[in-house]
Amino acid sequence: MKLRAEGYAEAVEDSARRLTEAGIGWVHDHLMRILLELDATTKAAGVSYYLAYGTAIGALRHRDFIPWDIDADVFIWSHEYEQLIEALRERLPEDVTLNTPDEDGGYPYLFARLGMRGVDHAHVHVDLFPLEPAPASRWKQRVYSVGTRLCCQMYLVKQMSPASRAHYTREKRLVARVGKIVLSPVPSWVLRRVFGAFTRWFAVRSAGEVVANSCGSYGLREFFRRSWFDAAVPTRFRGSELQIPSGSREMLEWIYGDFMTPVQDDELEFIEDHFVGPLRSHGIV
């Protein structure tokens, strides 16, 4: 049974304490360190960012991470993306890592990701999602959503090791292995170029009132009003200040509905089994 938002603080206190003791607090400390480095770099480079998805929920609901969240999400404007990547390469300290798809090192995503050196980026990461100009008509949005999702899925299958996906079912791992065989003749750079050409084609033909995360997984809920991102608003987060979209509440309601209602406990079990548990087994937490 889901809990009402007004009872949130008391209801999750025990779960949050258990997860903190299990290592989730260690993950949050490092995620915050990465976010502060990102915040400093964007200010130095003169680019914008916005906390997104569960991280934005945490900012509004707790002024902190959601107690059981194990990653962080950020939106970056596509026209500022390369500028930020270059700034991160110049400014990041040695213990903060940057993965980008153009490195061809087996990284399986078409967006950039920040992590911690010595820790698998699958377990501790801040994802940098690109916000692109997108079509306003619903049927074009469907085409865009299917096309970008297909590109992202093909690139993931091409780059990843199916054995590394412990949470996949046996059938899903089999499909991934077959997909790797089918995609083996196609170079990774070709998939990246197809994805870039596809999103640019729509961007130059869009009026600008709609933007989308081209690497998102929420389908048509990834299409946002441009006005929701008119400003990056400072908000308190873990005793510091980070940026959220000016229309963050509208954005989160569009994606999740009642985002103030906590999730059920089965998500806690999943995080323990597939994220905190592996960190503990490797002696990291």
Confidence at residue 5, expressed as pLDDT on a 0 to 100 scale: 41
Helix residue ranges per DSSP H, the chain? 8-22, 24-45, 53-61, 78-91, 138-159, 170-183, 188-204, 248-256, 266-271, 277-281
Counting every residue written for the chain, the total comes to 285
Confidence at residue 267, expressed as pLDDT on a 0 to 100 scale: 56
| Cα 284 off chain centre by | 22
The average confidence (pLDDT) of the chain is 86
Asked if residue 82 lies in contact with residue 136, where contact means CB atoms within 8 angstroms, the answer is no
Partner residues linked to 114 by β-bridges: 98, 126
Q: What is d(CA 59, CA 62) in angstroms, rounded to the nearest whole number? A: 6
Confidence at residue 240, expressed as pLDDT on a 0 to 100 scale: 95
Out of 16-30, 92-106, 136-150, 207-221, pick the least confident.
Answer: 16-30
Q: What is d(CA 183, CA 194) in angstroms, rounded to the nearest whole number? A: 14
Which CA distances in Å does 104 have to 100, 157, 179? 8, 14, 18
Q: What is d(CA 44, CA 118) in angstroms, rounded to the nearest whole number? A: 27
**pLDDT beyond 80 at 274:** no
Specify the 3-state DSSP secondary structure of 28: helix
Out of 31-35, 41-45, 101-105, 128-132, pick the least confident.
Answer: 101-105
Task: Please give the structure tokens belonging to residue 213.
Answer: 């995360």
Best mean pLDDT range from 22-36, 128-142, 166-180: 128-142
Q: What is d(CA 77, CA 212) in angstroms, rounded to the nearest whole number? A: 10
- In tens, the pLDDT along 54-72 reads 999 999 999 999 888 889 9
Asked if residue 61 lies in contact with residue 260, where contact means CB atoms within 8 angstroms, the answer is yes
Residue type, 251: M
What predicted TM-score, i.e. pTM, was given to this entire model? 0.85
Give the residue-averaged pLDDT of 92-107.
88
Q: What is d(CA 76, CA 176) in angstroms, rounded to the nearest whole number? A: 29
Out of 95-109, 228-242, 269-283, pick the least confident.
Answer: 269-283
Q: What is d(CA 230, CA 242) in angstroms, rounded to the nearest whole number? A: 16
